[in-house]
Chains A and B, each alone.
Chain A
Amino acid sequence: MQENLTERELLVLQDQIMQEMCMITKFSNYAEMTSDPELKNVCRQVAQKHQNHYNTLIRHLNSARAAQTFTTTQPAYTATQAQYNYQF
């Protein structure tokens, strides 16, 4: 399914993809670097989580198209009843 994307969503999506990319690299490297087994384990798990997030975000970006004109019909401004009553 194609998703309509607003400009801001696009920017946010791009940002998050870049950050997840960085996080995957970082946590994978830390998992190798550390000698603490528990920390190593946590780093691996977190890296895997980030990998999943990264895939999700990429999938959204690829299935997106530009949003159709994003407007809602705004009711014309009308004076409130009180204003109407007291216009002399």
Chain B
Amino acid sequence: MFFQDRDIALDCINSQKLLNNTYTYAVSEASNASIRNDMVSILNDEFNNQYMIFEVMNRRGWYKPFAANQQDLNNAKNDVNNLNNQMQSVWKNMSQGMQGISNQYSFTQTPTYQYGNQTYGDRPGQDWGGATNSSVEKAMWSNIGNYANQEIGSVNPSPSEKNANLTGSAGYAANQSQSQYGASQTYRTQNYGDRPGQDWGGATNSNVEKAMWSNIGNYANQEVGSANPSPSERNANLNNQR
């Protein structure tokens, strides 16, 4: 068996790379602190070993990785930068929602409440049937009382109160881009981010809400029978479902 120097170096660096992997696994699986510390420092050593061999090979011209294709590099830069721009605005909204400082009516911060097997947004109103005389709904009303007070000003506001609050808030409907509704656009299956009707202030004449109506129109048709049901229609449907 005759190894040239190049073959020796190649085998050295390959086996060194494999050993790096097994030590990574060893570190991840260690629960004993002193073993883990030693494994980490050994792993560091192994990386250095591999780099020493790499340097020798590199000087000899034995290690020639392919250069990145310029076109692929440009494409990757574009893709990542575009995605990064999108994610920046997403993350901005997330941190606002978590801090709860601005955008009081943004859906991202809205907790949901479980009723039967349905999850609702926390804004009270017509879509629970507007009925506050059942004990179930009374219990729910009291539980969401605090939040509803923050949001709407009273636990069971009159429609005009609610309209005033909703239209008065800059962040609520007009500022939401349609894509932000995308995730919660199911109607009557929960999440009610985008429920039509009273919870939007009953106003279907703003462009934003019209667009949302048309987006959920198909689903609303299946469920309610028409894209813009009257309150009585809607109550009838909700009662059927209960």
Q: A residues near B, CB below 8 A?
A: 3-6, 8-9, 12-13, 15-16, 19, 23, 26-27, 30, 33-36, 38-39, 42-43, 45-46, 49-50, 52-53, 56-57, 60, 70, 82-83, 85-86, 88
Contact residue among A12, A36, A49 (Cβ-Cβ distance under 8 Å from B26): A12
Given A26-B15, A46-B12, A60-B38, answer yes or no on A82-B29 (Cβ-Cβ < 8 Å): no
Give the shortest distance, in Å, between A27 (CB) and chain B (any CB).
7
Q: How distant is the Cα of A3 from the Cα of B36 in the complex, in angstroms?
A: 12
Is B8 touching A46 in the complex (CB atoms < 8 A)?
no
Between A and B, 27 residue pairs with Cβ closer than 8 Å are A3-B32, A3-B34, A4-B32, A6-B31, A6-B32, A12-B30, A15-B26, A16-B23, A16-B39, A19-B19, A23-B15, A26-B11, A34-B5, A39-B5, A42-B52, A42-B53, A43-B12, A45-B49, A60-B35, A82-B113, A82-B114, A83-B114, A85-B139, A85-B143, A86-B114, A86-B115, A86-B140
Residue of B nearest to A26 (CB): B15
Q: How many A-B residue pairs have CB under 8 A?
A: 95
Contacts of A35 in B (CB 8 A): 5
Q: How distant is the Cα of A46 from the Cα of B140 in the complex, in angstroms?
A: 69
Is B19 touching A23 in the complex (CB atoms < 8 A)?
yes
Contact residue among B5, B16, B42 (Cβ-Cβ distance under 8 Å from A56): B42
Residue of B nearest to A59 (CB): B38
- Count of chain B residues with Cβ under 8 Å from any Cβ of A? 38
Q: How distant is the Cα of A23 from the Cα of B12 in the complex, in angstroms?
A: 9
* Dominant secondary structure at the B interface: helix
Q: B residues near A, CB below 8 A?
A: 3, 5, 8-9, 11-12, 15-16, 19, 22-23, 25-26, 29-32, 34-35, 38-39, 42, 45-46, 49, 52-53, 56, 59-60, 113-116, 136, 139-140, 143
Q: How distant is the Cα of A2 from the Cα of B9 in the complex, in angstroms?
A: 40
Give the shortest distance, in Å, between B28 (CB) and chain A (any CB).
9
Is A9 touching B35 in the complex (CB atoms < 8 A)?
yes
Q: How distant is the Cα of A27 from the Cα of B16 in the complex, in angstroms?
A: 10
Q: A9-B35, A23-B15 are in contact. List 8 more A-B contacts (CB 8 A).
A: A5-B35, A9-B30, A15-B26, A16-B23, A45-B52, A82-B113, A86-B143, A88-B116
Q: How distant is the Cα of A39 from the Cα of B32 in the complex, in angstroms?
A: 37
Give the shortest distance, in Å, between A7 (CB) and chain B (any CB).
10
Contacts of A13 in B (CB 8 A): 26, 35
Contact residue among B9, B16, B29, B140 (Cβ-Cβ distance under 8 Å from A8): B29
Contacts of A15 in B (CB 8 A): 22, 26
